[in-house]
A and B are shown apart, each in its own frame.
Chain A
């Protein structure tokens, strides 16, 4: 009898595997950033606010990721010569070479999400969606929460903010 079970289960498992592998659309890039960026060092040790680097947060839809010339404001000189990690960015700044950041929080282009609306007007903390980045000492390898529509809905419903399609989708 359990032969039958075997005959049933194994193909099913295979099916699942096949489905999983083929249905993935954007597989997360596994390799980490070329620059071993540490949120911890920047935010905790040097007391830099999120807004200082992600400048768009309160002023526009996109928070934005700093590009090299923004980093160069501080890193044009070695702050802590001991640090190996800082050397890397220092070199990049000297070469004025852009950093190919890995972007983990991507929304499809048919979604209108505005940081300003959520952070400035909605008074949301970054933690709410991004988790506590300040503790991360090593570069990200995955995003804190998979931003699915349900994820938005949970918050919108409990705060009873409009869940009308037209407000986020265009």
Chain B
């Protein structure tokens, strides 16, 4: 069984934010209205964390961290879910089952990465975006929690394709949208346990760090940066 994980090379990342857009469009993440956005209900599965700066003018450097669900190995969100609406699959992806969720938002309260978002209202996409929604992903109803799923629908389809063609699932067949679009090839994705995969090679880089290491949630999203975190 593979163990899917991601490595983001901050030294390569050029902060263009294509991953954010790709994620929103791939997963039909709702674009909330102006009022809600100002209330702090904007929904992003992947977001560029607010810029933090190093050094003092004029030798300043901006540090941007593209942050998504860390797909922890020890997820704190699944422990508290009362109905098993979120749980860890065998392949390490922390799945979110929308028809199961009762919307108690306990998992959000317990996520140290604030990676989950809640459907405060029913989906309210602008017209043009409704017309070109991704048919592989369901539109979430109001009142359920959602989060990054490593584009799990892509895995389902890729697996099935591979099976139909009677072959193993190759590394590049299944990558999330954010990885696919990254122009500077800063995001690696794949099986962490497979020693030959690009991602596991990148994972053993000396620059590796994860967010909130001390919590022991064992994130499967690693970051590389020559500068310390």
Partner-B contacts on A (CB < 8 A) = 61, 108-112, 114, 116-117, 120-121, 164-167, 169-170
The complex places the Cα of A108 from the Cα of B141 at a distance, in Å, of 11
Q: Is the CB of B156 within 8 A of A170?
A: yes
B48–chain A nearest beta-carbon distance, Å: 25
Q: State whether the Cβ of B89 lies closer than 8 Å to any Cβ in chain A.
A: yes
Pair count A-B, CB < 8 A = 49
The complex places the Cα of A110 from the Cα of B97 at a distance, in Å, of 9
Q: Is the CB of B153 within 8 A of A165?
A: no
Q: CB-CB < 8 A to A169: which residues of B?
A: 97-100
Q: CB-CB < 8 A to B129: which residues of A?
A: none
Q: Is the CB of A165 within 8 A of B160?
A: no
As a 0/1 sequence over residues 76 to 102 of chain B, the CB contacts with chain A under 8 angstroms (1 = contact) are 000000001001010001010111100
Instruction: Select A166's contact among B97, B136, B163, beta carbons within 8 Å.
Output: B97
The complex places the Cα of A165 from the Cα of B95 at a distance, in Å, of 9
Q: Is the CB of A114 within 8 A of B160?
A: yes
Q: CB-CB < 8 A to B137: which residues of A?
A: 170
Q: State whether the Cβ of B212 lies closer than 8 Å to any Cβ in chain A.
A: no
The complex places the Cα of A61 from the Cα of B156 at a distance, in Å, of 11
Closest to A168 in B: B156
B155–chain A nearest beta-carbon distance, Å: 10
The complex places the Cα of A170 from the Cα of B89 at a distance, in Å, of 13
The complex places the Cα of A5 from the Cα of B43 at a distance, in Å, of 55
Closest to B84 in A: A165
User: Which chain B residues in 136-157 approach chain A with CB under 8 Å?
Assistant: 136-140, 149, 152-153, 156-157
Closest to A59 in B: B164
Supply 17 further A-B pairs (C-beta < 8 A) apart from A109-B139, A166-B95, A170-B153. A110-B138, A112-B136, A112-B153, A112-B156, A117-B160, A117-B163, A120-B164, A121-B163, A121-B164, A165-B84, A165-B95, A166-B89, A166-B93, A169-B100, A170-B95, A170-B98, A170-B152
Q: CB-CB < 8 A to B135: which residues of A?
A: 109
Q: Is the CB of A165 within 8 A of B164?
A: no
Q: Which 8 A-B pairs have the closest CB atoms?
A: A110-B138, A166-B95, A109-B138, A165-B97, A169-B97, A166-B89, A117-B160, A170-B153
Q: Which of A114, A120, A166, A169 has the most CB of B within 10 A?
A: A166
Closest to B28 in A: A109
B118–chain A nearest beta-carbon distance, Å: 17
Closest to A120 in B: B164
The complex places the Cα of A61 from the Cα of B136 at a distance, in Å, of 10
Q: Is the CB of B152 within 8 A of A116?
A: no
The complex places the Cα of A109 from the Cα of B138 at a distance, in Å, of 5
B159–chain A nearest beta-carbon distance, Å: 9
